């Protein structure tokens, strides 16, 4: 178990600001994955379109992912002056409440890279992730694998339709892929 303790007021202010902004600009706000990285006395938070941190008293190193809306809700309901967050094998405990964590790793915060996405990401942003050489494990860790796969399937279906539409014009699949990659910033 790894622990982190910080000012509840500071954490609430940051989460409130980020949650409000995320709800306004993202249709995916309720599904957003929060990545927490504890490195000594600094707890970093990453969500699409934002990266922030708080300082406090930490007892180790770990990285975890969980649902941002659930984390925000539990922290918002806390009433004490300081807040203690315990990182356990498969959960994160805030006060007396335990929350399911999609993943928790101890002693190795470099195991998976933080995935940078805009707050209101599109299918194009998801297709680009696959081209950016993120590993399957990194996409799963950040709860994006299924969305990236779906976006790539949709892209390929649309590409297949375009190939059929242009087959009488001597435009090959390879020509279309090169053109689309250049226009979409995928090359």
pLDDT at position 155: 94
pLDDT, one tens digit per residue, over 101-132 is: 988 888 766 667 778 888 778 899 999 988 88
CB atoms within 10 A of CB 34: 23
Chain position carrying tokens 């435009």: 171
Q: What are phi and psi of 84, to 5 degrees?
A: -110, 130
Residues 152, 138 share a domain? yes
Residues 111, 149 share a domain? no
pLDDT, one tens digit per residue, over 17-40 is: 887 777 766 566 667 888 999 998
pLDDT at position 26: 59
Residues 88, 28 share a domain? yes
Percentage of the chain exceeding pLDDT 70: 94
> Which of the residue ranges 11-15, 139-143, 161-165, 179-183 would you say has the lowest mean pLDDT?
139-143
Number of domains composing the chain: 2
CB atoms within 10 A of CB 72: 19
The contacts of residue 54 (CB under 8 Å, 6+ apart) are 6, 7, 10, 11, 14, 42, 43, 45
- pLDDT: is 106 or 158 the higher one? 158
Average per-residue pLDDT for the chain: 87
Residues 90, 145 share a domain? no
Domain end (from 105, 120, 135)? 120
Domain end (from 104, 120, 136)? 120
Whether 80 shows a pLDDT value over 90: the answer reads no
pLDDT, one tens digit per residue, over 50-79 is: 888 999 999 989 999 998 888 989 998 988
CATH number of the domain at 74, please. Answer: 3.10.150.10
Domain range spanning residue 68?
A: 2-120
pLDDT at position 27: 62
Q: What are phi and psi of 62, to 5 degrees?
A: -165, 165
Q: Are 100 and 33 in contact (CB under 8 A)?
A: no
Q: Indicate the pTM of the whole model.
A: 0.75
Q: Are 69 and 13 in contact (CB under 8 A)?
A: no
């Amino acid at each position: 178990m790894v622990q982190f303790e910080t000012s509840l007021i500071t954490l609430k202010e940051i989460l409130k600001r980020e949650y409000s902004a995320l709800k306004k600009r993202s249709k995916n706000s309720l599904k957003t994955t929060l990545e927490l990285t504890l490195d000594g006395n600094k707890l970093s938070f990453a969500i699409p379109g934002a990266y922030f941190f708080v300082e406090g008293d930490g007892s180790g190193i770990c990285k975890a992912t969980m649902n941002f809306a659930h984390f925000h809700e539990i922290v918002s309901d806390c009433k004490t002056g300081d807040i203690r967050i315990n990182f356990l094998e498969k959960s994160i405990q805030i006060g007396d409440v335990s929350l399911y964590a999609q993943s928790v790793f101890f002693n190795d915060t470099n195991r998976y890279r933080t995935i940078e996405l805009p707050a209101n990401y599109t299918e194009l942003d998801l297709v680009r992730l696959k081209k950016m050489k993120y590993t399957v494990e990194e996409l799963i860790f950040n709860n994006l694998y299924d969305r990236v796969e779906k976006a790539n399937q949709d892209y390929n279906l649309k590409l297949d339709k375009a190939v059929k539409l242009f087959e009488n014009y001597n435009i090959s699949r390879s020509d279309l892929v090169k053109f689309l990659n250049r226009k979409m910033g995928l090359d």
